[in-house]
Amino acid sequence: MTLSDISSDSSTASTAIGPVTGGRRSWRTVRRIVLYVVLIGLSFLFALPFLWQASASFKNSAQILEPGLNLIPESFKLDNYSRVFDSVPFDSWFYNSLFITLLGTLGATFSSAFCAYGFAILRARGSNICFALALITIFIPFEALLIPEYILFAQLGWLNTPLPLIIPWCFGGGAFNIFLMRQFYKGLPRELIDAARVDGASEFRIFWRIMLPLTIPALTVVAVFHFIFLWNDFLRPLIYLTDVNETTLPVGLSGFLSRFSRQWAILMAGSFMALLPIVVLFAVAQRFIVKGINLTGVRR
Amino acid sequence: MKIGESGRLQVSRRPRSSPRRKRRGLQTRREERWFYFFIAPWLIGFIFFGLGPMLASVGLAFTDYNLSGWPSFVGFDNFERMVDPVQGPLLEKAIRNTLYIALLVIPLQILIGLGLAVLLSQQVRGMPLFRTAFYLPTVVSGVATVVVWIWILGSDGLLNQGLELFGIDGPVWLRDPATVKLGIVIIMVWGGTGGMMIIFLAGLQSMPRELLEAAAVDGASAVRRFWHVKLPLLTPQLFFNLVIGVASGIGVFTETYVVSSETGPAGSGSPANQTLTLVMYIYRQMLVNLQVGYASAVAWVLTAAIALLTAIQFWSSRRWVYYDNDNR
């Protein structure tokens, strides 16, 4: 999308309500041009930190400190990137982040789908109380659990292992995700389940063979949001993974920042690499993210 | 609520005992067992990672504990320490900093998010591209983007280069105690606005067109249509953003932790305790000072405050949130 595309479309894109007279039409055109100028300006402002970060990661320190907005680097040298790998265990951080995020996402997605089947489809005494309890936990701030969970994981000997960041997600996957999946199940035709029951399928078989395949779009929404959440998670890995080789990218980067204070070239290369997986995921899955928000009206 | 209307389950409530009733009862019990089979992971997780730790945390708030040995009961000492002359002022500082940041960030995120959503909802060409530009900061917000902002808000950073064009000599935003919190507000507004925008945009796009067209035909101006038709219909999204915004604004940690490493040890609250927020205060009391009992007490006060704020929002929502009964 370039500027000329937009301006050539701007007069036709307006959808008029009611009769449009000549004077009104030109007023409308002016309004739409202003709208696009404002939108392009604002989106540039929002994107600027990324653009600058990307370009600075290819520059040397002197070039970075040059005044002015030189977004195109003179050359695409990878010196800064190799310096990141030489000076910190960036590959371990990356691997740890990926391992924790993938397993945590898998656990949360699958187990929230599993539990949501119970809450959405099956009837039992106590189901309302259980669901109410689950909903309340959405509103309990993480800070309330921080200290006792730390003690619990310390007693279990799980500090400096990825377990505290993976295992809890395998038990229900968070009330928010259960709620999301439950809403999707409720929207499916009930006859499907009744028919399967008449055919003698067990509830687990119905869940595994009918519900899971039908809710792949919903599972994708949950997985994408949870992946983003875990990849950016900071406080939990900060307190559970204090060993510099066992920690995740955000925690590693925060230490990296104090160590290479003001060495912008290397800092930008490291932080840009940390962002890349999530930006790629976002680009690929944007459709699902927007769809998920539109369907449920909520986000994580 | 299809389950409640299913005939099979209503039949099972018939009072007379008959072979048929026994069979239905069996069916109900079978379904009940399956229910607990499916929710078992959540139930176990709730007990071990939710309810249990929460009860333990309440208990810890009344003890003295340094992570080794056994906690010793000290009554209300920890709560008294929050207001004593030694600990009190620092905690008060943390509360003030948290409120300062939250009270600026939440309204700005909501207002700018709403503004962007209104702009994008006007049948804009290339909408996905703009939406991506505004939403991407929310997706990637975290340590890696704070690093970029430390440069942007630095002495020769982009912001000061921009201010120089207007002849203003900007401060080193994140090193100056007078401006560091404003700097954090800028980072958080940049990082959180897109998420709010996406929610508002979803609301604006699902709005019944007939209603807006009827208002236009009746001669309502664009401004009146916004205030009297669109905004009331957007109150559910506004409510959701407010609840999420308050909880995440008060829980601010990542930004202040990373920014404090510019002028002191990471997580120190530097410069001049200006970046010391409530969560950072709890983090420091627990892991740096090993005052676990006291940290638990503060965490509980924070939790109670967030719970109270959430309850107030839910209670007041009955007065100002409009739900369209057809959709919800």
Q: Which two tokens stand for residue A157?
A: 């000997």
Q: Is A71 on the interface with B (CB under 8 A)?
A: no
Q: Which domain holds residue A108?
A: 83-296
**Three-class SS state of B274:** coil
Q: Answer yes or no: are the C-beta atoms of A97 and A160 closer than 8 Å.
A: no
Residue B237 phi, psi dihedral angles, 5° rounding: -70, -40
Q: Which residue of chain A comes nearest to B151, CA vs CA?
A: A264
Q: For residue B22, what pLDDT band results from cuts at 50, 70 and 90?
A: low
A243 Rama sector, left if φ>0, alpha if ψ -120 to 50, beta otherwise:
beta
| E strand spans, chain B | 63-64, 72-73
Q: Is A114 on the interface with B (CB under 8 A)?
A: yes
- Listed residue (B96, B99, B104, B91) closest to B250, CA to CA: B99
Does A100 lie in the same domain as A229? yes
Does A44 lie in the same domain as A94? no
Instruction: Spell out the residues 6+ positions from residue B297 whose beta carbon is closer than 8 angstroms to its own.
Output: B61, B62, B78, B79, B81, B82
pLDDT at B197 over 70: yes
pLDDT of residue A73: 82
Does A109 lie in the same domain as A38? no
Does A157 lie in the same domain as A38? no
Which of B47, B143, B197, B198 to substitute to test the interface with A, most A CBs within 10 Å?
A: B143
Give domain status of residue A63, yes or no: no
Does A288 lie in the same domain as A182? yes
Measured between beta carbons, the chain A residues lying within 8 angstroms of B251 are: 141-143
Q: Which two tokens stand for residue B122?
A: 């006007």
Measured between beta carbons, the chain A residues lying within 8 angstroms of B145 are: 49, 271, 275
pLDDT at B78 over 70: yes
Whole-angstrom distance, CA of residue B278 vs CA of residue B300: 11
Place of tokens 């030489």: A86
Q: What is the mean pLDDT of residues B256-279?
A: 89
Measured between beta carbons, the chain B residues lying within 8 angstroms of A170 are: 41, 45
pLDDT of residue B9: 40
Closest Cβ opposite residue A254 in set B52, B244, B257: B257
Measured between beta carbons, the chain B residues lying within 8 angstroms of A52 are: 148, 151-152, 158
Measure in Å the smallest separation between the Cα of B73 and chain A Cα atoms: 16
B246-266 pLDDT, tens per residue? 888 998 999 999 999 888 888
Q: Which two tokens stand for residue A109?
A: 């997605």
Give domain status of residue A87, yes or no: yes
Does A115 lie in the same domain as A32? no
Q: What is the mean pLDDT of residues A266-274?
A: 91
Q: Answer yes or no: are the C-beta atoms of B271 and B264 closer than 8 Å.
A: yes
Does A99 lie in the same domain as A25? no
What's B227's DSSP letter?
Answer: I
Measured between beta carbons, the chain B residues lying within 8 angstroms of A80 are: none
Residue B83 phi, psi dihedral angles, 5° rounding: -115, 5
pLDDT of residue B94: 95
Q: For residue B14, what pLDDT band results from cuts at 50, 70 and 90?
A: very low
Does A89 lie in the same domain as A40? no
CATH architecture of B78-320: Orthogonal Bundle (1.10)
B122-155 pLDDT, tens per residue? 888 888 889 889 999 988 888 989 989 998 998 8
Whole-angstrom distance, CA of residue B299 vs CA of residue A145: 9
- Listed residue (B275, B118, B95, B281) closest to B185, CA to CA: B275
Q: Which residue of chain A comes nearest to B240, CA vs CA?
A: A298
Q: For residue B23, what pLDDT band results from cuts at 50, 70 and 90?
A: low
Say which CATH number the domain at A141 has. 1.10.3720.10
Residue B73 phi, psi dihedral angles, 5° rounding: -70, 130
Instruction: Spell out the residues 6+ positions from residue A105 whose beta carbon is closer than 8 angstroms to its own.
Output: A169, A223, A226, A227, A230
Q: Using CA of residue B204, residue A292, residue A298, residue A213, what is the dihedral sign?
A: positive
pLDDT of residue A92: 94
Q: How far is CA B83 from the centre of its chain?
A: 27
Closest Cβ opposite residue A293 in set B42, B133, B199: B199
What is the number of structural domains in chain A? 2
Q: What is the mean pLDDT of residues A259-284?
A: 87
Closest Cβ opposite residue A13 in set B53, B125, B148: B125
Whole-angstrom distance, CA of residue B174 vs CA of residue B183: 6
Give domain status of residue A74, yes or no: no
Does A152 lie in the same domain as A239? yes
Q: Answer yes or no: are the C-beta atoms of A134 and A144 closer than 8 Å.
A: no
Q: Residue B311: how many CB atoms within 10 A of its CB?
A: 11
Which residues numbered 284-323 in B keep a CB inside 8 Å of some CB on A? Answer: 286-287, 292, 295-296, 299-300, 302-303, 306-307, 310
Q: What is the mean pLDDT of residues B150-171?
A: 88
**Three-class SS state of B64:** strand
Q: Answer yes or no: are the C-beta atoms of A65 and A35 closer than 8 Å.
A: no
Q: For residue B20, what pLDDT band results from cuts at 50, 70 and 90?
A: low
Q: Answer yes or no: are the C-beta atoms of B34 and A118 closer than 8 Å.
A: yes
Measure in Å the smallest separation between the Cα of A130 and chain B Cα atoms: 8
Q: Which two tokens stand for residue A38?
A: 């404002």
**Three-class SS state of B63:** strand
- Listed residue (B160, B189, B191) closest to B174, CA to CA: B160
pLDDT of residue A68: 74
**Three-class SS state of B31:** helix
pLDDT of residue B8: 39
Measured between beta carbons, the chain B residues lying within 8 angstroms of A42 are: 116, 119, 134
Q: In chain A, what percentage of residues exceed pLDDT 70?
A: 89
Does A146 lie in the same domain as A258? yes
Measured between beta carbons, the chain A residues lying within 8 angstroms of B289 are: none
Does A132 lie in the same domain as A45? no
- Listed residue (B203, A39, B217) closest to B225, CA to CA: B217
Q: CA of B83: how far to CAs of B74, B90, B100, B210, in Å?
A: 16, 10, 20, 58
The whole-chain average pLDDT of chain B stands at 86
- Listed residue (B136, B177, B157) closest to B272, CA to CA: B177
User: What is the DSSP annotation of B305-324?
Assistant: HHHHHHHHHHHHHHHH----
| B215-223, Cβ contacts within 8 angstroms, sequence gap of 24 or more | B216/A17, B216/A18, B217/A17, B217/A18
Place of tokens 């239905």: B24
A121-143 pLDDT, tens per residue? 998 988 989 998 888 887 777 77
Q: Answer yes or no: are the C-beta atoms of A173 and A217 closer than 8 Å.
A: no
Q: What are the percentages of helix, strand and coil residues in chain A, rounded to 5?
A: 75, 0, 25
- Select the more confidently predicted residue: B323 or A226: A226
ipTM exceeds 0.85 = no
B28-71 pLDDT, tens per residue? 888 899 999 999 999 999 999 988 988 898 999 999 998 888 88
pLDDT at B1 over 50: no
pLDDT at A260 over 90: no
- Select the more confidently predicted residue: A31 or B188: B188
Place of tokens 């970046």: B275
A77 Rama sector, left if φ>0, alpha if ψ -120 to 50, beta otherwise:
beta
Which residues, listed in sequence order, are joined to residue B72 by a DSSP beta bridge?
B64
Give domain status of residue A70, yes or no: no
- Listed residue (A25, A29, A24) closest to A9, CA to CA: A29
Place of tokens 């995440």: B248
pLDDT at A12 over 50: no
pLDDT of residue A292: 67
Q: CA of A255: how far to CAs of A89, A260, A270, B265, B270, in Å?
A: 12, 9, 12, 10, 16
Does A204 lie in the same domain as A274? yes
Closest Cβ opposite residue B261 in set A121, A257, A298: A257
Give domain status of residue A69, yes or no: no
Whole-angstrom distance, CA of residue B144 vs CA of residue A270: 8
Q: Which residue of chain A comes nearest to B300, CA vs CA?
A: A144
Q: Can you list the alpha helix ranges (DSSP code H) found in B16-157?
A: 19-46, 52-60, 77-81, 88-120, 127-140, 143-152
Give domain status of residue A40, yes or no: yes
Q: Using CA of residue B313, residue B318, residue B322, residue B326, what is the dihedral sign?
A: positive
Helix (H) or strand (E) holding A205: helix A203-205
Judge: A257–B50 Cβ closer than 8 Å, yes or no.
Answer: no
Measure in Å the smallest separation between the Cα of A266 and chain B Cα atoms: 11
pLDDT of residue A106: 97
User: Residue type at A271?
Assistant: S
Q: Answer yes or no: are the C-beta atoms of B61 and B282 closer than 8 Å.
A: no
Q: Is B220 on the interface with A (CB under 8 A)?
A: no
Q: Which two tokens stand for residue B81?
A: 């320490």
pLDDT at B232 over 70: yes
